[in-house]
Amino acid sequence: MVGVWPLPIHHVEVRLMQSHGTTPNIAAQAIKSTTRHGFLVALGWVAQRLNLVEILNRHLRIKQKTYAHTPVDKVVEALVAILGNCRYMKDLNFDPEPLVADPAVAQAWGQERFAHFSTVCATFSKLTEENVQQLSDALAEIQAPLLQQEVAAVAGPDRSGMVIVDIDLTGQKVRGETRQYTGTDFGYIQGKLARGYQIAAAFLSGKQQRFAIDGLLKSGKANSRSGACLLELIPRIEARIGRPLRRVEWVEACLAQQKARVRQLYQQLQTVSGKGSARRKQKLQREFQEEVQHLREVNQRLRQYRQENRTNLAPLRILLRADSAFGTPEVIQRLLELGYEFTIKSYSGSNPAYKRLFDAVPAEGWVEVEKNRFASEAVTVPGPTLLAPYPVRLVAMRRWDADGREVRSVILTTLQPEELTTTEVVKLYHGRQTIEAGFQEWKGTFHFGTPRMRKYEANAAFTQLVLFAFNLVRWAWRFLSTNSPKLAEAGSRLLVRVAARCRATIRCLGDTLRLVFSRGTPLAGAEITLNRATPYPYALLTPRMSSCSRET
């Protein structure tokens, strides 16, 4: 029978999970409630399926007293605010239809009621770098099976398929009293010199959609150190999706070349003499010490690569795509050592000497790859300086803007002509525009164009939550089903800005949790059902209750 709402949603779910063959009277009972944030309730069901709260409780250790809500409760509430189209944290309480005033949403996310936004901000102000890493580890554990499924679908049964990962930076300008934002610095953000943060992020190109792998919050100066950001992301990418086999044989060749360089410098040191020899010897001595240090580093990396290859039982073929900010010789050298394929732009066209090299190639040497865009492999642009020779392809590109200005660039790639033609290399590189679309979604749909908090660690934690929210709205339909084609095919913008703001009725009957959008809403009549028949990658745990006595 249909009655009032006597228990939170998570209580109902516990009873339904225990009702198979044991409590038929409860299974036959229907429970009904209403909400003003329909899709957020459905996402809460998904979060419970993913054991979000249980895993966060296991990882996060925030040093803060617990009264009515634990620190983990408030981290979850911040995630709900991101998914609920809250531009500012105060919108939790002061939005025209505030989330704090909707207990059905809180219950769907494992709480009785949400906390006041000020206490959420207070919790984030207590975060440390260790807490940010704990949050990142927890969210990585939750997403690992789902990311692995995407990788397996792309790589194929023999894992020989190309797994494409896009890496880029996006800026966050600070507003108001800029010096109050810790960890910020001046840098080129959105094409202008401004104070703020840079986010270095990696995206996976799945079979049908893109997914965020990981991201790092950096100061505004990170644009001038993009290569270091990429190399810092690599271990985090590999921890989440896997890694390729290292190019051990090529690194051995690099080591041999480095030894020869050291011997050559040593011989020069022994034979230097004559006028000015003291100054030359001092310079050679510095070079010798630097090369010896490089030799030690290469030798150490070689030992590490051999060990990693022995333990890598399921290697992947991973292609990295990145723009010219990442195309430094140091990055190219390291990516080759690590076994990655890549298409990276190495030159943005500002060098006037390169213009002569482009102009030296006749018109018939250029291939039109797209409208008003031409490519050639006949341009004699110098390649990156490496420790040992490697067959890196250089594809020169040129195009003309609407005002007639010529734009030149060069793509570096490890993919050889027998695998991809010149045209295919260019089109593959331009496929990285999906990451730009991802950044636009962060800033538009999730209101992440500016920092939410003034403390660096708090904003770093928000970065991790936005990455998770980005993926959660895509993975939701693995757990939910709907009778509405509009909902099934909707992008995250409609789900977050419309579906999460629509009134709906929640019905729990037997094994079914069903949400029906109310009349008078843009999604009137659409239904969402928690699909219990789907095999989940996690064991279903009992959601915990909210209590004043809990501690983190």
The DSSP code sequence of 16-77 is HHT-TTT-HHHHT-EEEEEES-HHHHHHHHHHHHTTHHHHHHHH-------SSS-HHHHHHH
pLDDT digits (tens, 9 = 90+) for 334-366: 999 999 999 998 855 556 778 888 889 998 999
pLDDT at 331 over 50: yes
Per-residue confidence at 207, pLDDT binned at 50, 70, 90?
Answer: confident
Residue scoring higher pLDDT (502 or 542) = 502
3 pLDDT more than 90: no
| Model confidence band, residue 66 (pLDDT cutoffs 50, 70, 90) | confident
More confident residue, 220 or 142: 142
Query: Residue 29: pLDDT above 90?
Result: no
More confident residue, 549 or 332: 332
Instruction: Render pLDDT for 457-498 as a digit per residue (tens, 0 to 9).
Output: 999 999 999 999 999 999 998 888 898 998 988 889 999 999
Over residues 144-202, the pLDDT tens digits come to 999 999 999 999 999 889 999 999 999 888 876 667 888 888 888 877 888 889 999 99
Q: Is residue 211 part of a domain?
A: yes
Pairing outcome for strands 2-3 and 30-35? parallel
CB–CB of 191/170 below 8 Å? no
What's the pLDDT at 17? 31
* Residues 207 and 346 both lie in one domain: yes
Where among 400, 426, 446 does a domain terminate?
446
User: What is the pLDDT, as a whole number, of residue 26?
Assistant: 34
On the question of pLDDT at 242 being above 80, the answer is: yes
2 band by pLDDT with thresholds 50, 70 and 90:
very low
Name which of 269, 271, 252, 265 is nearest 292 in CA terms.
265
From 446, 479, 503, give the residue that closes a domain: 446
Provide mean pLDDT across the span 20-47. 71
**pLDDT tens, 224-235?**
566 888 999 999
Whole-structure pTM value: 0.86
236 and 378 together in one domain = yes
> How many degrees, rounded to 5, is the angle at CA 81 between CA 136 and CA 89?
100
What letter represents residue 18's amino acid? Answer: Q
Average pLDDT over residues 365-374: 89
Indicate whether 435 and 360 sit together in one domain.
Answer: yes
Q: In the predicted model, is pLDDT for residue 24 greater than 90? A: no
The residue among 106, 115, 168, 196 whose CA lies nearest residue 448 is 196
CA-based nearest residue to 392, from 374, 413, 408: 413
Considering the domain architecture, whether residues 292 and 171 belong to the same structural domain is answered as no
Q: What is the mean pLDDT of residues 281-303?
A: 94
Residue 277 and residue 324 in one domain: no
Residues 210 and 351 occupy one common structural domain: yes
DSSP secondary structure letter of residue 448: -
Contact 248, 306 (CB under 8 A): yes
- Containing 211, the helix (H) or strand (E) segment is strand 210-219
Q: Is residue 512 part of a domain?
A: no
Please give the Cα distance from 237 to 215 (Å, whole number): 9
Residue 425: predicted pLDDT: 94
Task: Report percent pLDDT > 70 for the chain.
Answer: 88
Residue 502 counted as domain residue: no
323 & 229 share domain: yes
Question: Which of 288, 311, 334 is the last residue before a domain boundary?
Answer: 311
Query: Do residues 259 and 405 both lie within one domain?
Result: no
For position 423, which CATH number holds? 3.90.350.10
326 and 433 co-located in one domain: yes
Query: Do 167 and 320 touch, CB atoms closer than 8 A?
Result: yes
What mean pLDDT value characterizes the chain? 85
Is residue 539 very low, low, confident or very high in pLDDT (cuts 50, 70, 90)? very low
- Same domain? For 223 and 165 the reply is yes
List the domain range (segments joined by +) for residue 356: 132-245+318-446
pLDDT at 381: 85
- What CA–CA distances, in Å, run from 503 to 2, 37, 497? 19, 6, 13
